[in-house]
């Protein structure tokens, strides 16, 4: 398949309407298109067209029981796609839409089961990204879209990442802005007791300010154990993993640095990469140190996280040692992604 690659004006995407219209024609005729959003790039199809949705699963190598997020261009679309919408969900969408928040609701009969992985619920999101909204609006239908990465690999925060993963596998890639959040949307299940399932740039603290009764799923922080019954099918699959084995080091900062340096010294003949922060990038005795951002601005770490993991893939390191983060604000989301990317290999430095 030939993949069209079209750039849009990232600052003023309304200047690029011909590109969005071309992409919309592809969607309307059952094709699949990669498009920018503020969180990560998505790989989209008409959410009502089962054969188009099937192409997404095939292109990603995604298990068919893992449902897709349905993206809309206006809040009202929720009423057509969901049923029995609770007051709490309305409070959340009023506060955080458009934005990096996905709500899970009972699905209406209009949404095919293929899109929801066979579930009676549907995940809905109205993105902040202007380019994303212009694209969805031009399509004239809701757009089902998972993150644009091969299943299990780091998400794409730049069209170049998506091109590496999907050249020849999708009909078109829209090259827009670099994703500003850099990690996938916050997911809140509103179909039962309102529960945070995946942390993101809309933080737990921000959600709690609007809905004090909201809970957080315990597996946001913990490795799935024998009791684990995933509330979101995606929770049971490996995610975000770079090619090299990654290990996280937590504890007092100077202990972390000395433990990582000790391991670097012991790994003769291996290429080691260190995922650091700007404040400590000069403290490691190894050639490949990549700073993901500043501890003073953890949102910058989130924004660069997947790009950093992909850069380690390019350098061909044998192993990655990484610093860790806290559990408040956006740091909860960073740790959730890092823990999964590392397959929960976490060393406590004492």
Sites of contact with Mg ion (CB under 5 A): 147
Q: Is 130 in the site for ligand TXA (CB under 6 A)?
A: no
Q: Is 176 in the site for ligand TXA (CB under 6 A)?
A: no
Stretch that binds ligand TXA, among 232-240, 286-294, 300-308, 327-335 (CB under 6 A): 232-240
Among 55, 125, 130, 337, binds ligand TXA (CB under 6 A): 125
> Closer CB to ligand TXA, residue 102 or residue 324?
102
HEC string of the chain equals CCCEEEECCCCCHHHHHHHHHHHHHHHHCCCCEEECCCCCCEEEEECCCHHHHHHHHHHHCCCCCCCCEEECCCHHHHHHHEECCCHHHHHHHHHHCCCCEEEEEEECCCCCCCCCCCCCEEEEECCCCHHHHHHHHHHCCCEECCECCCCCCCCCCCHHHHHHHHCCCCCEEEECCCCCCCCCCEEEECCCCCEEEECCCCCHHHHHHHCCCCEECHHHCCCCCCCCCCCCHHHHCCCCCCCCEEEEEEECHHHHHHHHHHHHHHCCCCCEEEEECHHHHHHCCCCEEEECCCCCCHHHHHHHHHHHHHHHHHHCCCEEEECCCCCCCHHHHHHHHHHHHCCCCEEEEC
Among 24, 26, 68, 163, binds ligand TXA (CB under 6 A): 68
Q: List the interface residues with ligand TXA, window 36-55 (CB under 6 A).
A: 37, 39-40, 42
> Closer CB to ligand TXA, residue 40 or residue 292?
40
Q: Is 184 in the site for ligand TXA (CB under 6 A)?
A: yes
Q: Is 98 in the site for ligand TXA (CB under 6 A)?
A: no
Residue 275 touches which of Mg ion, ligand TXA, none (Cβ within 5-8 Å per kind): none
Residue 39 touches which of ligand TXA, Mg ion, none (Cβ within 5-8 Å per kind): ligand TXA
Q: Is 340 in the site for ligand TXA (CB under 6 A)?
A: no
> Closer CB to ligand TXA, residue 123 or residue 220?
123
Residue 304 touches which of ligand TXA, Mg ion, none (Cβ within 5-8 Å per kind): none
Which residues in this chain contact ligand TXA in the complex, by CB under 6 A?
Answer: 37, 39-40, 42, 66-69, 102, 104, 116, 119, 121-123, 125, 145-147, 184-185, 187, 232-234
């Amino acid at each position: 398949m030939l993949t069209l690659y079209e750039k849009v004006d990232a600052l003023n995407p309304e200047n690029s309407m011909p590109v969005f219209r071309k992409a919309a024609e592809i969607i309307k005729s059952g094709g699949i298109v990669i498009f920018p959003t503020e969180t990560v790039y998505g790989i989209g199809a008409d959410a009502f067209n089962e054969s188009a949705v099937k192409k997404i699963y095939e292109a990603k190598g995604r298990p068919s029981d893992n449902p897709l997020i349905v993206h809309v261009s206006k809040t009202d679309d929720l009423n057509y796609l969901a049923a029995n919408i609770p007051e709490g969900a309305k409070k959340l969408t009023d506060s955080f839409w458009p934005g990096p928040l996905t709500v899970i609701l009972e699905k209406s009969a209009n949404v095919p089961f293929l899109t929801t992985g066979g579930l009676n619920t549907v995940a809905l999101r109205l993105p902040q990204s202007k380019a994303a909204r212009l694209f969805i609006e031009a399509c004239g239908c809701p757009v089902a879209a998972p993150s644009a990465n091969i299943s299990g690999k780091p998400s794409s925060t730049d069209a170049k990442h998506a091109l590496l993963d999907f050249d020849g596998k999708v009909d078109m890639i829209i090259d827009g802005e670099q994703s500003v959040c850099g990690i996938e949307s916050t997911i809140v299940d509103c179909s039962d007791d309102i529960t945070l399932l995946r942390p993101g740039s809309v933080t737990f603290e921000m959600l709690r300010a609007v809905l004090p009764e909201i809970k957080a799923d315990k597996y946001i922080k913990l490795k799935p154990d024998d009791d684990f019954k995933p509330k979101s099918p995606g929770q049971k699959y490996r995610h975000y993993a770079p090619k090299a084995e990654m290990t996280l080091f937590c504890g007092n900062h100077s202990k972390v640095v000395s433990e990582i340096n000790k391991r670097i010294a012991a790994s003769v003949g291996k290429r080691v990469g260190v995922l650091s922060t700007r404040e400590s990038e000069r403290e490691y005795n190894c050639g490949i140190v990549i700073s993901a951002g500043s501890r003073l601005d953890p949102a910058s770490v989130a924004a660069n996280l997947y790009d950093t993991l992909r850069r380690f893939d390019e350098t061909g390191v044998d192993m990655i040692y990484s610093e860790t983060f806290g559990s408040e604000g956006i740091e909860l989301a960073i740790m959730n992604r890092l823990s999964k990317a590392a397959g929960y290999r976490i060393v406590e430095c004492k």
